[in-house]
Amino acid sequence: MNALSHAQTALITGASSGIGATYARRLAARGYNLLLVARNQARLQVLADELMTNHGVEVNLLTADLEQHADIEKVASQLRSDERISLLVNCAGVALNGSLAEADIDSTHSLLQINLLALTMLSSAAAVRFSLAGRGAIINIGSVVSLLPERFNAIYSASKAYVLSLSQSMHVELSGSGVQIQVVLPGVTRTEIFERSGGSLAQIPPSMVMEVDDLVDAALRGFDQGELVTIPSLPDSNEWQALTQARLQLAPNLSHNQPAARYH
Ligand code: NAP
C-alpha cells in the first residue's frame, strides 16, 4: 500500500468545487503540494491562496477544459513529465438530468469526454510514469449509481460503470508495479453537481445526502487502508465482498463452445 506522505505532488482534476476542492484541502493538510485542474481559474486561485496560507504547501494551477482533446493532452503531458507528481485524483465529472430519450448530442458528448475520455487518458499517462517510478496512486471518483443503473439516468450511470470497470482492470494490470488504485463510489453528496445539471437536491431525503467533508474523509480512510473499491455509505463491507465473489463465480461459465441448454 502507498501511504499518503509528505513532499509529493497530487494532481486533482475538478478541484474548483465540491469533492475535488475537498480533496485539495485534505491533501494539503497532509503536506501534499498540489496541481489543481479545472476551467474556473478564479476559483482555483482562491483555493490555492487559502491552502498556501493555511498549510504552507506549494499550489500550482493548470486551467483546462477536459472536454477538449488538446486540454486533456496538456494535463496528460504534465503527468508524463513532472516527476514530483505521485498521486492523481480523477474527480472532474458532470451529470445529466433526463432520460436517454431526452439526451442531446452536445451535453452527451461533453459528459463522455469528461467522465470517460479525460479520466481514461489521464489514468493511462499516470499509470505509465508511476509504474516506471515503481510508486504512485490513482484515485478515480465513480458513483454508487454504477451499482444501481435501474434507479438513475442511463448515460451518467453507464459512465460511472465504466469508471468502476476501468479501475478494477487497472488494479489487475498494475499489480506488482507499486501503483495503488482506488475507485470511490459516493452516494448523494452535497455539491454543486445537481444544480449544474439542472437538477436539485431538494427532492432527496436528507438521510441520503452526505456532506462532502465526511465523504472525502471516509474515502481517504479507505485509501489509507488500501481498498480498491470504497463505498463510503455502505455499513457492511462484507456485502460488497459477497457481490464481488458472486460475480467472479460466474467466470468458469462465461465462455463455452456451446450455448447453454436452455437455448437449444
Ligand atoms: P461539482 O461540485 O459540480 O464539481 C465538478 C468539478 O468538475 C468542478 O471542479 C468543475 O470545475 C469540474 N469540471 C466540470 N466540467 C469540466 C470541464 N469541462 N473541464 C474541466 N473540469 C470540469 O461536483 P462534485 O459532486 O464535486 O463532482 C465530482 C465528482 O464526483 C464527479 O465525477 C461526480 O460524477 C462524482 N460524484 C458526485 C456525487 C454527488 O452526489 N455530488 C455522487 C457520486 C459521484 P470547472 O467548472 O471549474 O471546470
pLDDT digits (tens, 9 = 90+) for 189-244: 999 999 998 888 998 999 999 999 999 999 999 999 999 999 999 999 999 999 99
The mean pLDDT value for 246-255 works out to 98
- Cβ 221 under 6 angstroms from ligand 1: no
The mean pLDDT value for 163-168 works out to 98
Residue 131 Cα to ligand 1 midpoint, Å, equals: 27
The mean pLDDT value for 140-167 works out to 97
The mean pLDDT value for 114-124 works out to 98
- Cβ 93 under 6 angstroms from ligand 1: yes
Cα 31 to Cα 6, 25, 56, 199, 226: the distances in Å are: 5, 10, 8, 36, 20
Residue 179 Cα to ligand 1 midpoint, Å, equals: 25
Nearest CA to ligand 1 atom 8: 14
pLDDT bin (cut points 50, 70, 90) of residue 84 is: very high
Q: To test ligand 1's pocket by mutation, which of 13, 17, 35, 68 has the most ligand atoms within 8 angstroms of CB? A: 17
Q: Is pLDDT at 90 greater than 90 in this prediction?
A: yes
Q: Please report the atom of ligand 1 found closest to the CA of residue 14.
A: 9
pLDDT at 5: 47
In the predicted model, what is the mean pLDDT of the chain?
96
Q: Is pLDDT at 1 greater than 50 in this prediction?
A: no
- Cβ 184 under 6 angstroms from ligand 1: no
Cell 438513475 identifies what position?
152
Residue 248 Cα to ligand 1 midpoint, Å, equals: 32
pLDDT at 180: 98
Residue 199 Cα to ligand 1 midpoint, Å, equals: 14
pLDDT at 199: 87
Does the pTM exceed 0.85?
yes
pLDDT bin (cut points 50, 70, 90) of residue 2 is: very low
Cβ contacts of 229-235, under 8 Å, gap ≥ 24: 229/164, 229/167, 229/168, 229/182, 229/183, 229/185, 230/182, 230/183, 230/184, 230/185, 231/144, 231/185, 232/184, 232/185, 232/186, 232/187, 233/144, 233/186, 233/187
Q: Is pLDDT at 258 greater than 50 in this prediction?
A: yes
